[in-house]
Amino acid sequence: MKTIGQLSEALRLREVSSVELVQDALARIAVAQPRFNAFITVDADAALAAARDADAARARGEAGALTGIPIAHKDVLMTAGMRTTCGSRMLAEFVAPYDAHVVTRLRDAGTVLVGKTNMDEFAMGSSNESSYFGPARNPWNPAHIPGGSSGGSAAAIAAALVPGTTGTDTGGSIRQPAAMCGITGIKPTYGLCSRYGLVAFASSLDTPGVFARDALGCALLLDAMAGHDARDSTSLDRPPEDRSRALRESATAKPLAGLRIGLPREYFGDGVDAAVAGAIDTALGALRALGATTVDIGLPAVKHSVPVYYVIAPAEASSNLSRFDGVRYGHRAGHYTDLADMYCRSRAEGFGAEVKRRILVGTYVLSHGYYDAYYLKAQQVRRLIAQDFARAYRDCDVIVGPTAPTAAFPIGAKTDDPVQMYLNDIFTIAANLTGSPALSIPCGCTADGLPIGLQIQGNHFEEARILNVAHRFQQATDWHLRTPPGVESAVRKGGP
């Protein structure tokens, strides 16, 4: 599968049509779905109609860089007239009445929606195993997880089904699956992309973002979907940016000259797999060869990120998911005795185990007598973490380290130990707690061929900077171009 940039150029030169790209994507999905389970819903008729419109727009000379590019949305984003399930039985048959703001923005940019991708239920998970529709599988090894919660979106790109997808990142749910599937994924600054139409998990943390094979593809998608939305009180009103322009410029011999890379000692200690540590060290060598310098920094409060997150996120989830009561929409129990019994039975049947676990934890920490001890204290420590990062950026321009402490693990390996599952997000959570941008790019593989991710974090609104670092690294390496063994033969040969 070509990158978004390559497909955009092929469309511009009339070497391929959008209809042909969409037909190929639909054929690939049909063959790959039983193996990877990356999609929940596919709408072939609507996709082909949109592709014909895109080709007509190009014929009229009204096309942009993304016109005619097939994409898929994570199934937590509302899409008018299409199922939006959030990977849950609670919304298994719910058809969205309107589009999320980012869905509208990408539609207006000319992208063609082919379907909705699999995900952990209500975005609660790090492995995609909590989906009501079964786990998505990692194209590098279908016996392993693709990461979560946006696992289907990441798997769809790794399996060469579509060139771009959306995701949401609450504690690492874009970057962690990007790392485990060997692709590029970015979580932008909180508020840069509107949350309107994103089914809420944790409102102060949820951030829409994108996946692509490379940094340029992510930049093109992010440029299209970012923008102010008056319907979202947390949406930021900032001038439009062309983050992809600098990436398209020719590189000098030392394109990262002057860049200071911060290496937090807390990211390179115990718990990081030896293969991951080795790949990160090699990647740092490549960044230094491009002109960057590295400086040691400390983030002492970051060690509290996981416990802080697992107080704040469940508390907000408990509040947000109270709307699913079986009365207005969503699953309703078939048999009940009174209104209270209907609430209880509908929620017991509609929610899976992980969602119930987080609702119970969140309700507990918000309850009388525990609010100050847990939720308020977590918010105070969240501020300390943010202050650590603010101090660190006085000494460096970006912060680099592993995206996850290990590569993808086998399906079922951690389902009986939620704490071990939660610790998989130990390096990604801080960016959500601070609201700062971060991305993951592939930088190596384990001995058994599973991808390893490099995380690049920046200060608020520094998306262009971290994308440029990622792009220059990808110009000097080929990890982002590697595809899982057998994907082309298992899916379909001869596609664009």
138, pLDDT greater than 70: yes
Q: 342 — phi, psi (to 5°)?
A: -65, -45
Q: What is the CA radius of gyration of the chain?
A: 21
| Percentage of the chain lying above the pLDDT 70 cut | 98
pLDDT of residue 494: 36
3, pLDDT greater than 50: yes
pLDDT of residue 250: 80
| Tens digit of each residue's pLDDT (9 = 90 or more) over 79-136 | 999 999 999 999 999 999 999 999 999 999 999 999 999 999 999 999 999 999 999 9
| Tens digit of each residue's pLDDT (9 = 90 or more) over 448-469 | 999 999 999 999 999 999 999 9
Q: Choose, from 149, 194, 305, 346, the residue flagged as catalytic.
A: 149
pLDDT of residue 104: 98
| Tens digit of each residue's pLDDT (9 = 90 or more) over 227-270 | 999 999 999 999 999 999 989 888 788 999 999 999 999 999 88
Please enumerate in sequence order all residues whose Cβ is within 8 A of that of 153, keeping only pairs 6 or more positions apart, or say none: 38, 72, 73, 74, 117, 119, 165, 166, 167, 177, 211
What distance in Å separates the CA atoms of residue 417 and residue 174, rounded to the nearest whole number? 22
| Tokens coding 476 | 């000097």
Residue (of 310, 329, 78) closest to 194 by Cα position: 78
What distance in Å separates the CA atoms of residue 230 and residue 262, rounded to the nearest whole number? 36
Average pLDDT over residues 288-303: 98
| Tens digit of each residue's pLDDT (9 = 90 or more) over 342-382 | 999 999 999 999 999 999 999 999 998 899 999 999 999 99
- For residue 179, CA distances in Å to 116, 286, 393, 448 come to 21, 18, 24, 15
Active site residue 173: yes
Which is it for strands 164-169 and 70-74: parallel, antiparallel or unpaired?
A: parallel
Residue (of 401, 478, 429, 457) closest to 186 by Cα position: 457
Average pLDDT over residues 3-29: 98
pLDDT of residue 354: 96
How many H-runs (helices) and E-runs (strands) does the chain carry?
A: 17, 11
pLDDT of residue 188: 98
| Tokens coding 276 | 């991951």
492, pLDDT greater than 80: no
Residue (of 423, 399, 396, 454) closest to 185 by Cα position: 454
DSSP lists the bridge partners of residue 165 as 72, 211
Q: Which amino acid is at 451?
A: P
Q: Where are the domains of the chain?
A: 4-259+464-491
What distance in Å separates the CA atoms of residue 256 and residue 367, rounded to the nearest whole number? 50
When pLDDT is cut at 50, 70 and 90, the band that residue 491 belongs to is low
Q: Choose, from 173, 235, 305, 440, the residue flagged as catalytic.
A: 173
DSSP, res 481: G
Q: Which CATH number fits domain 4-259+464-491: 3.90.1300.10, 3.60.10.10, 1.10.10.10, 3.40.5.50?
A: 3.90.1300.10
Mean pLDDT, rounded, of the chain: 96
Q: Which residues of 441-478 are buried (b: 16+ CB within 10 A; e: fewer)?
A: bbbbbbeeebbbbbbbbbbbbbbbbbbbbbbbbbbebe
Average pLDDT over residues 384-406: 98
493, pLDDT greater than 60: no
| Tokens coding 94 | 């719910």
